[in-house]
Structure 1
Amino acid sequence: MAVTLDIAHRSSPVEPASETPSLIGLDRDDLAAALLSAGVPERQIRMRIAQLWHWLYVRGVSDFDAMTNVSKDLRKLLAEGFSLARPEIVSEQISVDGTRKWLIRFPPRGAGRPVEVETVYIPEEGRGTLCVSSQVGCTLTCTFCHTGTQTLVRNLTAEEILAQIMVARDRLGDFPDAETPQGAIVPSEGRLISNVVMMGMGEPLYNFDAVKKALLIASDGEGLSLSRRRITLSTSGVVPMIGRTGDEIGCMLAISLHAVRDDLRDELVPINKKWNIEALLDACRAYPGLSNAKRITFEYVMLKDVNDSLAEAKELVRLLKGIPAKINLIPFNPWPGSPYECSDWERIEEFADVVNRAGYASPIRTPRGRDIFAACGQLKSETERLRKREREALEAGA
């Protein structure tokens, strides 16, 4: 039976959130500028950055007083000008299979009211994967995806993207000296969050700068130290940004493909009308660092009598010829009002056999967290952007 923990510190949605700048999400150059502006002597900046980086991203502290090798005077100075506070967790849901979903609330930052996103932790044997959101809502309206029914409210900042990782590590006890919750389903050894996938709410390449900044901090070897081979960015096909992703972030790439014909992909993934399958696959072939050791993952949701024929399996193999690739077959995860059904399991296995015989790894993704709407394509929050008139009235009332 799924469990929902209501752990929010409840407050009125009209109360203005604290806008004290956070040190989370600042790269080293930004951190240097922040320290200089706070009055830290320039000769100390390099040392102080190293200290703070360690406390923020290795130890995971959220209170300046915990920084025991930083002087009391500096801790006081930092606490007066900056914050390390985590965002509010509205609720935590735990699936029967151990998957966890957090509803996390952030300040308005132009949206008119606080905004909420969903972040999901998926424990497996030997690894734990965190599915991170990049936007509140989405612009892409992919017809099989629940998030696509929520219009875009705003982009998340680098701080807010990183905060999802920090919150998850807090809740799982994945920082040093922290304790894992009793009874939690987690990997039996190693890091509890070993992999990060940018596959939550939103299209990450439509928020490239913030996503890049957050992932470079997450993969920094002196901090959170996540391997770039264990960070995967999933895009629906923002072709002009794919090369930059490889050059500037260097993470693994996943393509939300789902169809082998342009007419069908135009319907399922409407961004295809702007950049079609041919353009998308050309960008994949040119992805920096592409090799058998750094394959692209192609995601293919299995929709009954829509895209699951064996002829389409053969065409998928033909299209991907020459691209080092893995093909993830995703049983469709239903959501209220969805027009689709999941393909029969026998058909999914037959489809996988065609792909496997062609030499491609073709795992069938085990549905996880369906009972708490945490599975692939099921994420959505209730946040909506206020109109300007409503926002002004709210601010006047406050």
Structure 2
Amino acid sequence: MYCFPSSGWFFVCLKEDQRLPMPMASSPRINSAPEKEDGLIGKVFSNFVNKNITQMALSVPDESFFPVARLNKCLQTAAKTLSAGGTGYDDIQGNLRLRKNVSKWSFTWGGNLGVDELVTTSGAMHAISLAFMALTKPGDRIGVESPVYFGILQLAKNMGLKVVELPTNPEFGVLPHDLESLIGEIDICLLVSNFNNPLGSCMPEENKKSVVEILTQHNIPLIEDDLYGDVYFGTSRPKPCKAFDKEGIVLWCGSVSKTLAPGYRVGWMAPGKFIKSILKLKLFHSISGTTVTQEAIGLFLENDYYEKHLRQLRATLYSNSLHFIRTIADYFPEGTKISRPQGGFVLWVELDKKWDTGKLFDKVLSRGISIAPGRMFTLQSQFHNCLRLNYGLPWSDKLEQELKLLGQILKEE
């Protein structure tokens, strides 16, 4: 039985024999040449706006989970409050109201970030792009988790970086001793320390502290994507690596794209000692962010709407995760392994080695279901028998039947 403040009690019974084992820790090859591009990512996302397909492939909660009416009111207020209705450019560093409230929010996890330490961006990927441009040159080696969000892989590849995929534990992420053993192979590091996409792993605090110490000792910057940290299922928000950064080597990146309003394209970063380089790049590339939406999100945070929304979102997502895990345990074939994230909204499923989930994608798409094949989350020849599922969808009889259908298709082979 679990209690979420202001959201009620949830009771879920999972028999021990229904609990599937966790996926294996990854063992990527170091200095492996990237696999040839096969167009899988484009194929998967060519249908992402199709309302007739159940979008288990996406890594964003359903639109029905967002507080649209409250956001609309904040937008209206923002347009009235801002000079010229928000049609002009904002300060290069970003909307002051938004930065003030992100600064205030950072005190909940021990970041204690000042307003002048923050730069607003057009989402977390924009922040990561700025960090790549500021800190790397073609040929540099970037260490990332394996598996990792395909957008990060594609960005690194397009910028001429050599991707070094690090061994990753499905529960605890990159372990400090694995990072230390490969420290000579990387020039920069990018980690999703809280509820990695797609594994859902979360680094223990001691590991985060050790990782920051190791990277600081070797003067290696860490780009930290903390996009999912607010969607935790425990009693308190897990600290990001940034909370242990004493020398300014961590570039902490966040946004509301996964929790509140993906279409607003509002994000931020705390670039540490690299802030001057980031501001220079932002000036050249975008000058200013979206003035009205940044002000609106600043208002939303300022009035404590965000925490109330998050409490309900976390309760819903946690309940959904248990529904998904139980249904998969009941209906998927023997030998299936599954992650058990303590936050976020994606599950990583490992099937028998005989499966190619790229081919499975085609089969289930014809039945109105979209999944994310595991090959999308690596540049190497691995994870062909894995898939990522989004449980950030309204739980219903229809969704349960579609999961059962997915299991039935797997059992028929």
Larger radius of gyration: 1
TM-score computed with the length of structure 1 as normaliser: 0.26
TM-score computed with the length of structure 2 as normaliser: 0.26
